[in-house]
Amino acid sequence: MHSAPECEIFILAPPEEVFTFLIDPDRMMEWLGIENDIDPRPGGKFEVEVSRGNVARGTYTEVIPFRRVAFTWGWISPDPMLAALRPGTSLVEIDLGPKDGGTLLRLRHSRLSDATTDIHGDRWSRHLAKLASAAPRRRKPAS
């Protein structure tokens, strides 16, 4: 296991706002998954039913407010290719930085097998596009 898809996306909302979509269960469902059970603190549970019957499971390794969230990742799935990546096997690292009045989000998913690298890269791109759309809608108007 050595491949690591990386995605980078600009989001028109500040890092403080984008961060909430990484740690709040309701906001997370606006861009990732249909159900979740998360405890966003180092050592806390990460479990997201990404699509019906496909559950990503791991543990949070880092939670740095407004800057970084990292968690292990693997699958409980009827799909043999996904199920080969056992829960906690791979690592997802998400870094947030301020840029041009918004946030530059960088996601790196490491410790994947060659067989799962492309599918994870493609799906992360789609999920992050949903996040980039959801975060500005939740932005509070300036007073």
Question: pLDDT at position 138, please?
Answer: 63
Q: Residue 99, Cβ neighbours under 10 Å: how many? A: 12
Mean pLDDT score, 129-143: 77
Q: So what's the pLDDT on residue 139? A: 54
pLDDT number for residue 3: 60
Q: pLDDT tens digits, residue range 89-113?
A: 999 999 999 999 999 999 999 999 8
* Structure-token match 């060659």, residue found: 114
Model-level pTM? 0.92
Select from 3.30.530.20, 3.40.640.10, 3.90.700.10, 2.40.50.430 the CATH code of 6-138: 3.30.530.20
Mean pLDDT, to the nearest integer, of 3-16? 92
The pLDDT value recorded for residue 1 is 47
Residues 6+ apart with CB under 8 A from 46: 38, 39, 40, 56, 57, 58, 59, 60, 71, 72, 73
Residue 142 has pLDDT above 70, yes or no: no
Percent residues over pLDDT 70 in the chain = 94
Residue 101's identity, in one-letter code, is: G
Mean pLDDT, residues 70-99: 95
* DSSP string across the chain: --B--EEEEEESS-HHHHHHHHH-HHHHTTTS-SEEEE--STT-EEEEEEETTEEEEEEEEEEETTTEEEEEE-EE-SSHHHHTS-TTSEEEEEEEEEETTEEEEEEEEESB-HHHHHHHHHHHHHHHHHHHHHHHHHPPPP-
CB 63 within 8 A of CB 74: no
What's CA 52's distance to the chain center, in Å?
Answer: 18
Give 112-122 pLDDT, tens digit per residue. 988 889 999 99
Residue 138 vs residue 34, higher pLDDT:
34
The rounded mean pLDDT for the chain is 93
Sequence spans of domains, the chain: 6-138
What mean pLDDT comes out for the span 43-59? 97
